[in-house]
A and B are shown apart, each in its own frame.
Chain A
């Protein structure tokens, strides 16, 4: 196959590209320029990552180009991230990037230019199933990234190559070292790539400004304090509330809801964080849609735990009735459905309920 290998400059995507070459594919390396903030006077993105990706491509002996997707990224990922927070939701930008950039804009362009697939260093597996290619969890469960890929439809899954799905992260580093790739010991990236200092609240404050409001007790309705922007709070968060009034039982208080329109941050005890029912919209099926209802497992954040659930769905919504409660489920997060290791599909969480409904 003719394959576009998206090379971030990290060890995973470099080894993934190397393995695609080993598998006999005709591989072209692409570095996606996602941002123009770290650049010189005329937009030459001089980021070290681009150089690392180029050097990996040199070692592999494959052609290498930079594709500028900064405009699309800024619109579809960064603007969306800010807008979602301003509505009191908690988005996952990596998932949005996979959905709108890597496996959409880039995949579309690759296919139009005569390529057959896009290869990345994601930890997930593509497995041949009875109804076509299926998306599965990686063998290395600790590194599994299937959660952020669950926005891919069947057509996109069919054009993906994930050569790291059967491998442990430690093996990937060893493989990179054996191949002479300089990125073998490069640290993993953890932060949101467009917030390199990790200060998400500061990033949002710059863009959304001051929007002060009240911090309200979920049970008594009493105003406990003030905040300078509800967007800085996420369901399940405990720190940064600045509350001086202790709870009657001396229990810790958590954010249990964010009401963006009323600029209210609702707080309460741990017991209010348990969720038994989740509704989500914009369903995407990674392959054949499940039965209705179906007994599946659900996961609500990257690397989060999975719990069993009975799932109902129609064209516009998914409702998951959980077997045991999940804590800290925020609107905006993705509800991802699994059948064993197979990723069934996903939706965007709109509402949660403490009761089994």
Chain B
């Protein structure tokens, strides 16, 4: 593949930072299980604990509140199932959840719904913002966990996390927040009063895939998913992956240190992208919060619908032109489904099927946006000829 690629899919996975790769390689040269008692084991453990302190300092929490996991999905599952199971012991059988969560939240919640919990979906407005008044009305002492993401992975809408956290704190309800997309893009204080647990992922911010963390206070009652050697406060057993954890900490450090500067740069680039697309393609529609005044939208997110086109046709033609984007969250088989997020926002299904997410990150350049704007008009023209929402037939 000699063609220059414009990678506009940072929300799916971001390029690994060179210093994260170096940290991984350096740590991989050491032998030793971080739980072993000898010198090599202690050296490996030291890497893990230094990483824990580093992540804690960046997020404003105590080191003991950082639980390393094998990524964002595991962190979400551990928090939601762990809080729900522990809550059930106290008679808490309700779960409050927004309908626009990532599948790593949505699916465990739906699964718990089949295991005796009552799931209540919180209303969202047409921009994708959760109705906090409705949430407050639903809070009670029988709620095991309330879960609302910090910022949406598809349309980029930022939630009123501070208000949600305060409401949950007032009602004494554990609040889990999936902050996977927010890290590095939004100012983040994980010690926000009322946030019980917070899920983070490494590869969205330039760390390796397969490592993440759950921020959880010592007194949070969480039933473990994995039972075994008792690592990570006995709520996440399994040999600690020192190289990945070390690299994760490096990526989190950069994400937090550069957040303001990166957000400013990406916001301008994103607005150029959105303005450029809306000017180049008549009929294109921006989804989510326009984000022009307040930080209502992730700085790196642009999500647009192209009525009359199918998203997978647009994606294929853009890919052929060297521009890489997404029709929603990545799906392993490649069969596109209409986005549950867009449907929850009230977008009609045919329009939802004709939608693309462009997500910018640290390495994005104006040239990437130019490449998209050059290719897009022709691509939309072709895709609209092929029709929507379903293939034409003779």
Contacts and interface: CB of A to CB of B under 8 A. Distances in A.
A114 B392 CA distance: 15
A72 interface: yes
Contact of B392 (A46, A68, A109): A109
Given A28-B316, A71-B390, A113-B313, A42 B337 contact: yes
Interface stretch (A98-106, A240-248, A302-310): A98-106
Interface stretch (B70-78, B216-224, B258-266, B327-335): B327-335
B330 to A, nearest CB: 10
A105 B383 CA distance: 14
B316 A65 contact: yes
B111 to A, nearest CB: 9
Contact of B335 (A28, A68, A100, A106): A68
A33 B331 CA distance: 14
22 contacts: A36-B335, A41-B110, A42-B107, A44-B331, A44-B332, A44-B335, A45-B333, A47-B333, A50-B334, A63-B320, A66-B334, A67-B312, A68-B312, A68-B336, A69-B391, A76-B393, A106-B391, A108-B392, A108-B393, A109-B313, A113-B313, A114-B382
B387 interface: yes
Contact of B312 (A36, A50, A65, A100): A65
A294 to B, nearest CB: 26
A353 B333 CA distance: 50
B332 A46 contact: yes
Contacts of B317: 113-114
Interface in B93-119: 103, 107, 110
Contact of A104 (B110, B331, B333, B393): B393
Interface in B309-330: 312-313, 315-317, 319-320
Interface residues of A, number: 32
A187 interface: no
Given A28-B320, A63-B319, A104-B393, A113 B386 contact: yes
A54 B319 CA distance: 16
Nearest to B383: A113
Interface in A297-318: none
B38 interface: no
Contacts of A46: 332-333
Most buried by A among B107, B110, B383, B391: B391
Contacts of B331: 44
Nearest to A100: B393
Nearest to A107: B394
Contact of B391 (A44, A50, A54, A109): A109
A340 interface: no
Most buried by B among A43, A69, A100: A43
Most buried by A among B334, B337, B383: B334
A66 B19 CA distance: 36
Contact of B333 (A33, A71, A72): A33
Given A28-B320, A113-B313, A113-B316, A65 B334 contact: yes
Interface string A8-52: 000000000000000000001001010010010111111100100
B385 interface: yes
Interface string A245-258: 00000000000000
A112 interface: yes
Given A65-B316, A100-B393, A104-B394, A112 B337 contact: no
B107 A41 contact: yes
Interface of B: 103, 107, 110, 312-313, 315-317, 319-320, 331-337, 382-383, 385-387, 390-394
A231 B387 CA distance: 37
Contacts of A69: 391
Contacts of A76: 393
Contacts of B332: 44, 46
Interface string A59-92: 0000101111101100010000000000000000
Given A45-B335, A114-B317, 18 more contacts: A28-B316, A28-B320, A42-B103, A43-B335, A45-B333, A50-B333, A50-B334, A67-B312, A68-B312, A104-B394, A105-B392, A106-B391, A108-B392, A109-B392, A112-B386, A112-B392, A113-B316, A114-B382
Given A72-B391, A108-B392, A43 B337 contact: yes
Contacts of B336: 68
A72 to B, nearest CB: 6
B312 A72 contact: no
A164 to B, nearest CB: 25
Given A44-B332, A46-B332, A66-B335, A112 B393 contact: no
Nearest to B340: A42
Contacts of B383: 113
A100 B110 CA distance: 38
Given A71-B390, A106-B391, A112 B333 contact: no
A157 to B, nearest CB: 14
A124 B110 CA distance: 49
A321 to B, nearest CB: 31
B392 to A, nearest CB: 5
Contacts of A106: 391
A104 B385 CA distance: 15
A41 B320 CA distance: 31
Interface string A107-139: 011001110000000000000000000000000
